[in-house]
């Protein structure tokens, strides 16, 4: 059977487009196991995120990607932001001077109020602290990794959002999240 030059060119263009899409997205073939290397801990909760909450989660994933971190880092960060702010960028201090997605505090050296209410800055600050304060984060419970960074009075509270965060990160990297 003879294949036309047009069909060959079309197949070649399709393969090139697919390769380009994969190379531009390092997470293109992500599996659920890569997102959850450590088992869930305790009862899991869920909610239906708004468009703004999806956008904040997407920002966290993008920052993790730019830092060259595994997707589990994004899962830890999204779960932490859900617990701290429901993925809402808090522009007014809620607890002392806590601001932003992670309720980070200017008085504790996290950055200025303006920086902490910029989601990409807040995500970068959290992820940098995750690498520094929980270098073993890929082998410990999510709540332990989050607690190593946040030092919350309720350390296991982060655990309840692992499945929600995993689902959101999975949907974002697979192009299934609402835009």
Domain ranges of the chain: 42-173
Distance CA(19)–CA(6), nearest Å, equals 20
Q: What is the pLDDT of residues 24-70, one digit of tens each?
A: 666 667 777 777 767 788 999 999 999 999 999 999 999 999 999 99
User: What is the average pLDDT across 134-149?
Assistant: 97
User: What is the average pLDDT across 10-22?
Assistant: 40
* Contact by Cβ (8 Å): 44, 163: yes
% residues pLDDT > 90 (the chain) = 71
Q: Does 85 have pLDDT greater than 60? A: yes
- Residue identified by tokens 């807040």 is 122
- The pLDDT, as a whole number, for residue 45 is 94
Mean pLDDT of the chain: 86
- The pLDDT, as a whole number, for residue 30 is 74
- The pLDDT, as a whole number, for residue 18 is 38
Question: Quick one: which of 177, 170, 168, 174 has its CA closest to 87?
Answer: 168
Burial of 96 (0-12, 13-18, 19+ CB in 10 A): exposed
Q: Is this prediction's pTM over 0.85?
A: no
Instruction: Compute the Cα dihedral for 123, 161, 108, 129 and give only its sign.
Output: negative
Query: Poorest-confidence range of 18-22, 53-57, 72-76, 118-122?
Result: 18-22
Distance CA(37)–CA(142), nearest Å, equals 10
Question: Quick one: which of 132, 128, 144, 124 has its CA closest to 62?
Answer: 124
């Amino acid at each position: 059977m003879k294949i036309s030059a047009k069909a060959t060119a079309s197949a070649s263009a399709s393969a090139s487009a697919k390769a380009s899409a994969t190379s531009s997205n390092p997470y293109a073939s992500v599996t659920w196991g890569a997102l959850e290397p450590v088992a869930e801990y305790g009862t899991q909760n869920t909610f239906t995120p708004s468009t703004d909450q999806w956008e904040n989660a997407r920002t966290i994933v993008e920052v993790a990607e730019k830092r060259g971190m595994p997707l589990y880092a994004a899962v830890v960060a999204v779960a932490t932001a859900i617990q701290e702010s429901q993925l809402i960028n808090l522009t007014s201090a809620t607890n002392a001077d806590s601001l932003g997605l992670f309720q980070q505090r200017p008085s504790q050296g996290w950055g200025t109020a303006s920086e902490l209410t910029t989601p990409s800055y807040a995500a970068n600050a959290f992820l940098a602290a995750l690498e520094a304060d929980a270098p073993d984060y890929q082998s410990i419970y999510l709540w332990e990794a989050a607690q190593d960074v946040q030092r919350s009075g309720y350390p296991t509270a982060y655990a309840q959002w692992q499945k929600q965060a995993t689902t959101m990160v999975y949907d974002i990297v697979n192009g299934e999240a609402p835009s």
